Structure 1
């Protein structure tokens, strides 16, 4: 009776934007040039932050020619109004939820918990209230909107839902992860702020969790572990990703030079916590012996990096950028196929913030690789600075859901990228 209640992932859905929002890299560059010519004040790029810099970042980003940007951003000049931002977010969230409800046949009256996470767009009424209004959810629903928590907020939302499902019996939790680009396009000339324009794209996911024992048979996964690591007590960690105004008063998100070292340190702490929970005894023993030798015999001995592939079958590394995927591939000793889902998601959809790990899980399913008993590890980084992990176990051989975002393009992947 004292055991935690199992949390099942019944199904999830990722938003696939309409074809007219698809944009190629040459079209992005052409669009920026047209905006600069027609409205110089929108992109006051100096020689230091020229369009050549943007081109270089985009070409090295790992993004392909089929990512999506909001309709308001495609206009000249871009429309960064509250109404346009709401329209983008409503399109993403409602499409994902509609598809999820159609696939699961769950009544909205049975949903007892709603959690929506969006880091930079947090209007009033809240995004969770927007969902309550649209789907006429019941009046005693537990409603939460998570803001300002970066790209790792999707796992924070899952962890919060897990805790709530331990308290509220026989109910469903709807988790929605998204981000808004319309309101947060940076139009200044600060290089450290321009990088986000090159990487982020439209995307979102809706996830249905249950603590009902009867849902086990039809669910895709069971949640095994969540591990959250927060290094925000350190000033460098706290400030390495920060929304602020540039010297001309234009708002953007700054990425400092400390982000690489901060991310590495935070990932290491997260993995050190997760390792003992998932690794087999042999790997734990090797890690312990190396640690003792390093501490008492020879401090120059390298830390032993456990072989997580002995415990994890599929890796969903947040598609934050090519450099992030490369770093984790190297540090965890992963093979190209282990990071294939992350690289393919980055190429096809770009950095969709907290929802990227769901596009990656959907990729694995679309490839037919998710077998009963397989474990999938979702790992994401976010401002603050945070590194969060979630481990799921497949309850059956998982097939892709209806209207999977990879339904019409999975045969083209993986693609070979020029390094």
Structure 2
């Protein structure tokens, strides 16, 4: 991007003129009409109008305004969010992971051990990422009991955190949405939460599974649809997590070893409402794109058994490319809804140029600058490759993706909850201001790509969140990767 002062000035002037064009034209037209008509003529015409006509005009205007308000969907707000912060005893330092890799009875060939070591060294994860207690056993404890213990620790801690941050009480929750992809016990997570917090008997509850890392923002879209038709003052509690204990892969397939190395323990909660009282963010556009019609995308993240009968999640080597294609499809819908007119005009002119010029396929399409629509970006911390792909595709700077990279470094890939750890990072650094806009992007099995826009109403009063004990040390310099795995 050109940084010369005069180029920046011209671009700023262009944006001001184009973005305010629709507001300026009616004012200019009205001014032109008034300039041709004297004040005396305007007053004379007003006196000539019969009172009944004035009354009808006022009634019509009031009816139109009322109808517009009734037809407009209710606004949805984020009241508060909370994140699980694991204790240091759950840490999985790289040295410990490497020692376990050598001791695992199923990793008998040196190639599998060497692959796991290279993956960990290049993953972008720090020495502070955490895994459940079950992973600290040799071999890992994949029992139902271990999974339940992890579930109760992560989910209940995150819910306790969000209730401690707001004046909303458990009895005020009208709808409960819980998402976890792999582990689905009976009773389900939603029932566990209802039982623990003694929610009302008439609470609506939904339990989502199998959607991978996109489930958190899918839940936001579901909550939005419910709140827009619910009575005023309705509150929705969303819980997003991934329980790891039961899904540890004990085979040697490289594509199925990836989740063991990248996924870490984590969870987050949100309270959404259709009342602006106590709200901190206003929900904007929500766009979900599903590319499961393509076989390659459908099998990109796939749970199956290897040739020895060991169950695990197979991640395709084309995962980052698939994510890029899904993001492109998502932006096609999301972009026109959020971009200012100045950027949309440049995109339209670029498309027109491609159509009109001979050899139009060689014309490079204009890539819109989403920094004109958002001040902050929360990209799912699925791995270095995913963040790199999105950064390159959107033309973002290193500062724009700092929250994503630092979340991956400190907490690892916490699946559907990662975007909220990133939002907490931005607020802990004191960078969030009233009126700032946030774009959350997530990817998940299916293959799904989700975009959610927020506008800040009230920044956090403090940084007492998951980053409280380490925010002063961030950002950190990440080592360069010479060659991808």
Of residues 222, 230, 239, the one that matches 2:299 is 239
Structure 1 segments unaligned to the other structure (5+ residues): none
Partner of 1:294: 354
Does residue 392 (structure 1) correspond to residue 461 (structure 2)? The answer is no
> Is the 2:101–2:107 contact (alpha carbons within 8 Å) kept by the matching residues of 1?
no
Does residue 195 (structure 1) correspond to residue 258 (structure 2)? The answer is yes
> Is the 1:263–1:381 contact (alpha carbons within 8 Å) kept by the matching residues of 2?
yes
> Is the 1:153–1:382 contact (alpha carbons within 8 Å) kept by the matching residues of 2?
yes
Partner of 1:414: 475
Q: Is the alpha carbon distance of 1:220 and 1:401 closer, same or farther for their aligned partners in structure 2, counting shifts above 3 Å?
A: farther
Partner of 2:335: 275
Cα deviation 1:37-66 (Å, max 9, x = unaligned): xxx2xx244344x21110101111110110
Of residues 247, 263, 285, the one that matches 1:225 is 285
Partner of 1:257: 317
What is the rounded CA distance, in whole Å, between the counterparts of 1:401 and 1:177 in structure 2?
A: 21
Partner of 1:177: 240
What is the rounded CA distance, in whole Å, between the counterparts of 1:357 and 1:258 in structure 2?
A: 23
Local SS of the residue matching 1:208: strand
What is the rounded CA distance, in whole Å, between the counterparts of 1:45 and 1:276 in structure 2?
A: 53
Local SS of the residue matching 1:23: coil
Of residues 111, 116, 138, the one that matches 2:200 is 138
> Is the 1:117–1:147 contact (alpha carbons within 8 Å) kept by the matching residues of 2?
yes
Alpha-carbon deviation of 1:401?
Answer: 5.7
Partner of 1:22: 91
Cα deviation 1:335-384 (Å, max 9, x = unaligned): 11100000000000000000000000000000000001000000001010
> Is the 1:231–1:238 contact (alpha carbons within 8 Å) kept by the matching residues of 2?
yes
Partner of 1:339: 401
Partner of 1:350: 412
Does residue 3 (structure 1) correspond to residue 72 (structure 2)? The answer is yes
What is the rounded CA distance, in whole Å, between the counterparts of 1:21 and 1:259 in structure 2?
A: 29
Structure 2 segments unaligned to the other structure (5+ residues): 1-69, 481-485
Deviates more, 1:388-397 or 1:293-302: 293-302
Cα deviation 1:259-301 (Å, max 9, x = unaligned): 2332111100111111111111110011111112223321111
Q: How many residues align?
A: 408
Local SS of the residue matching 1:268: helix
> Is the 1:241–1:383 contact (alpha carbons within 8 Å) kept by the matching residues of 2?
yes
What is the rounded CA distance, in whole Å, between the counterparts of 1:311 and 1:60 in structure 2?
A: 33
Alpha-carbon deviation of 1:400?
Answer: 4.0
Does residue 127 (structure 1) correspond to residue 196 (structure 2)? The answer is no
4+ runs deviating over 6 angstroms: none
Local SS of the residue matching 1:387: strand
Query: Highest CA radius of gyration, 1 or 2?
Result: 2
What is the rounded CA distance, in whole Å, between the counterparts of 1:373 and 1:325 in structure 2?
A: 26
Alpha-carbon deviation of 1:86?
Answer: 0.9
What is the rounded CA distance, in whole Å, between the counterparts of 1:265 and 1:397 in structure 2?
A: 34
Deviates more, 1:239-248 or 1:292-301: 292-301
Alpha-carbon deviation of 1:87?
Answer: 0.6
> Is the 1:366–1:399 contact (alpha carbons within 8 Å) kept by the matching residues of 2?
no
Does residue 61 (structure 1) correspond to residue 130 (structure 2)? The answer is no
What is the rounded CA distance, in whole Å, between the counterparts of 1:106 and 1:398 in structure 2?
A: 16
Local SS of the residue matching 2:361: coil
Structure with more helix by fraction: 2
Local SS of the residue matching 2:168: coil
Local SS of the residue matching 1:5: coil
> Is the 1:23–1:65 contact (alpha carbons within 8 Å) kept by the matching residues of 2?
yes
Cα deviation 1:288-317 (Å, max 9, x = unaligned): 111122233211112211000011000000
Local SS of the residue matching 1:167: coil
What is the rounded CA distance, in whole Å, between the counterparts of 1:274 and 1:400 in structure 2?
A: 32
Deviates more, 1:96-105 or 1:306-315: 96-105
Cα deviation 1:170-192 (Å, max 9, x = unaligned): 21100000001100111100000
Q: Within 5 A, what are the aligned runs for 1:47-126?
A: 47-48=110-111, 50-126=112-188
What is the rounded CA distance, in whole Å, between the counterparts of 2:442 and 2:475 in structure 1?
A: 21
CA RMSD between the two structures: 1.2
What is the rounded CA distance, in whole Å, between the counterparts of 1:397 and 1:187 in structure 2?
A: 44
